[in-house]
Amino acid sequence: MKDILDFTHESRPQRVVFRPGAATNATAGEAAGLGLRRLLVVCGSRGTATARAVADSLGQACVGLHDGATMHVPVEVADRAVEAVRAAGADGVVAVGGGSSVGLGKAMALRTGLPLIAVPSTYSGSEMTPVWGLTEGGEKRTGRDPVVLPRSVVYDPELTLSLPVPLSVTSGINAIAHAVEALYAPDTTPLIALMAQEGVRAMAAALPAVADEPDSLEARGRALYGAWLCGSCLGATTMGLHHKLCHVLGGTFGLPHAETHTVVLPYALAYNAPAAPDAAAAVARALDTHDAPHALRELATRLGAPRSLAELGLKEADLAVAAAQTAGQAATNPRAVTVDGALAVLRAAYEGGAPEFPAG
Ligand code: NAD
């Protein structure tokens, strides 16, 4: 935290309902509160049963179910969903599922201006952000627009009971990454810093409990609570080197989203820590440790997550290409991102050893 307080904080209008059972007993009320009477429910093909239950709970207010969501919102997928929402004469969209479903709902809101309600089933945090993404010709474009921020978010820990433990762990550490980068973001604020530390603490404490007892509604609820806080941090700040690296690794090399975040985070934080000591100390406090990068790597390892980019299928020859792409894209980051610097982080994450760098 700076010695002299100097910040701009914006609170965006968004309702959050959090309770077991909320997906089917609160979504209709949220829609009614927004004055919506004709909702199209969207989901991915694997989330149809849950989305159907939400659709049924809306009764007459549901005009259809569209199950076309896929990873990274390809433009053709968004086109088809926009056609569906127009053909149905809908006045709002309910997205049920992970970041891919919420992402499709956002693309629909962006194109049509229709209000979005999100019912998340992973810890991605997309539901708390005004950031949209669309993939065209293999390239993912992202942007910020308040119209895509869900007006209401219905968090139901029961939906996450079916999230397999490996995905719960990587999705949870993906959430922690949002909070870590929010702590050293140029636009962080004291309120975001509080949310970020509590988000890291809550998620890091919940994940071992989720792994031990995946059916525990209490552990699931605590993880989802952490995801809410971490997602709020993502929505409010500008992300740095870690998110840039993961964007390149996912976009150019097709590496899986949450797993990539899990592998890279300790190394990105170790690289940035000398330039952002207060943020690193805040993460360490939240993890009840003196060394945040080691603790994050230890948490992931203990919970059986992938440890290296090599394990995720990256080739050694890709490292230089990824480093050049990362350094070439002006990233907001506390420490300068040179090609050599990006390469050092990538190589360390590729090998999966101890997360340590010279202060340089
Ligand atoms: P996802 O939505 O693709 O879900 C991953 C897998 O988990 C899918 O196969 C899905 O069917 C399955 N799944 C989801 N919920 C489940 C549940 N409860 N039980 C069992 N299986 C379940 O992936 P994700 O990790 O949630 O989100 C990643 C995507 O979201 C990426 O495209 C990423 O770029 C985007 N994202 C965007 C933002 C933003 O602010 N715009 C923020 C975070 C992530």
Is residue 338 in some structural domain?
yes
Query: CB within 8 A of 28, min separation 6: which ones?
Result: 57, 58, 59, 61
For residues 143 and 180, membership in a common domain is answered with no
Q: Does residue 7 lie within any of the structural domains?
A: no
Q: Cα(276) to centroid of ligand 1, in Å? A: 30
Q: Are 172 and 37 members of one domain? A: no
Specify whether 205 is located in the same domain as 126.
Answer: no
| pLDDT one-digit tens code per residue, 219-277 | 999 999 999 999 999 999 999 999 999 999 998 899 999 999 999 999 999 999 999 99
Same domain, 154 and 208: no
Ligand 1: nearest atom to the Cα of 45: 11
The pocket around ligand 1, CB under 6 angstroms, is made up of 44, 46-47, 71-72, 97-101, 103, 121-122, 124-126, 129, 131, 133, 159-160, 162-163, 167, 171, 234, 257-258
Quote the distance between the C-alpha of residue 173 and its chain's center: 9
187: CA distance to ligand 1 center in Å? Answer: 26
Please give the radius of gyration of the chain, using alpha carbons only, rounded to the nearest integer.
20
Q: What is the pLDDT averaged over residues 200-212?
A: 98
| Mutational test site, ligand 1, from 12, 119, 123, 124, max ligand atoms within 8 Å of CB | 124
Domain count, the chain: 2
Q: What are phi and psi of 40, to 5 degrees?
A: -100, 130
Nearest-CA residue for ligand 1 atom 39 is 126
Instruction: Judge whether 357 lies within some domain.
Output: no
List the CATH number of the domain containing 201: 1.20.1090.10
With respect to residue 225, please indicate whether it lies within any of the assigned structural domains. yes
d(CA 155, ligand 1 centre) in Å: 15
The residue to mutate among 128, 167, 169, 238, having the most atoms of ligand 1 within 8 angstroms of its beta carbon, is: 167
Q: Residue 2 pLDDT > 60, yes or no?
A: no
Q: Which two tokens stand for residue 39?
A: 């909702």
| Residue identifier of the C-alpha nearest atom 34 of ligand 1 | 72
Q: How far is the CA of 349 from the centre of ligand 1 (A)?
A: 23
Residues 156 and 65 in one domain: yes
What is d(CA 307, CA 349) in angstroms, rounded to the nearest whole number?
8
Considering the chain, what is the average pLDDT of its residues? 96
Q: Are residues 145 and 169 in the same domain?
A: no
In a domain, 141, yes or no: yes
- 286: its two tokens: 């939240």
Which has the minimum average pLDDT: 74-78, 189-193, 330-334?
A: 330-334
The last residue of a domain, from among 160, 193, 212: 160
Nearest residue by C-alpha to atom 29 in ligand 1: 99
Residues 153, 171 within the same domain: no
User: The tokens 């949002």 sit on which residue?
Assistant: 178
pLDDT category of residue 328 using cuts at 50, 70 and 90: confident
Any domain includes 6: no
Q: Are 64 and 39 in contact (CB under 8 A)?
A: no
Which of 132, 160, 188 is the last residue before a domain boundary? Answer: 160
243 assigned to some structural domain: yes
- Are 40 and 150 members of one domain? yes
pTM greater than 0.85: yes
Is the same domain home to 122 and 244?
no
Determine, yes or no, domain membership for 228. yes
Tell me, yes or no, whether 308 and 213 share the same domain.
yes
Q: What is the CATH number of the domain that holds 98?
A: 3.40.50.1970
**Which pairs with CB-CB distance under 8 Å and at least 24 residues apart come from 289-298?**
292/180, 293/266, 293/267, 293/269, 293/355, 293/356, 294/266, 294/354, 294/355, 296/173, 296/176, 296/265, 296/266, 296/269, 296/355, 297/266, 297/354, 297/355
Q: Cα(first)–Cα(last) distance of the chain, in Å?
A: 23
Return the best residue to mutate from 43, 72, 100, 167 for the ligand 1 pocket (most ligand atoms within 8 A of CB).
100
| Mutation pick for ligand 1 pocket among 257, 259, 260 (CB with most ligand atoms within 8 Å) | 257
In terms of domains, do 105 and 183 share one?
no
> Which protein residue's CA is at the shortest distance from atom 20 of ligand 1?
163
In 3D, which of 309, 330, 126, 162 has the Cα closest to residue 235?
126
Instruction: Give the integer Cα–Cα distance in Å for 246 and 52.
Output: 33
Taking the CA of residue 353 as centre, how many other CA atoms within 13 Å lie in the half-sphere pointing to its CB? 8
SS (H, E, C) the chain: CCCCCCCCCCCCCCEEEECCCHHHHCHHHHHHHCCCCCEEEEEEHHHHHHHHHHHHHHHHHEEEEEEEECCCCEHHHHHHHHHHHHHCCCCEEEEEECHHHHHHHHHHHHHHCCCEEEEECCCCCHHHCCEEEEEECCEEEEEECHHHCCCEEEECHHHHHHCCHHHHHHHHHHHHHHHHHHHCCCCCCHHHHHHHHHHHHHHHHHHHHHHHCCCCHHHHHHHHHHHHHHHHHHHHCCCCHHHHHHHHHHHHHCCCHHHHHHHHHHHHHHHHHHHCHHHHHHHHHHHCCCCHHHHHHHHHHHCCCCCCCCCCCCCCCHHHHHHHHHHHCCCCCCCCCCHHHHHHHHHHHHHCCCCCCCCC
Q: Whose CA is nearest to atom 24 of ligand 1?
A: 99
- Domain ranges, residue 206: 165-351
Whole-number pLDDT of residue 32: 98
Q: Work out the average pLDDT over 22-31.
A: 98
93-134 pLDDT, tens digit per residue, is 999 999 999 999 999 999 999 999 999 999 999 999 999 999
Of 115, 131, 160, the residue at which a domain comes to its end is: 160
Mean pLDDT of 52-81: 97
Are residues 22 and 87 both part of a single domain? yes
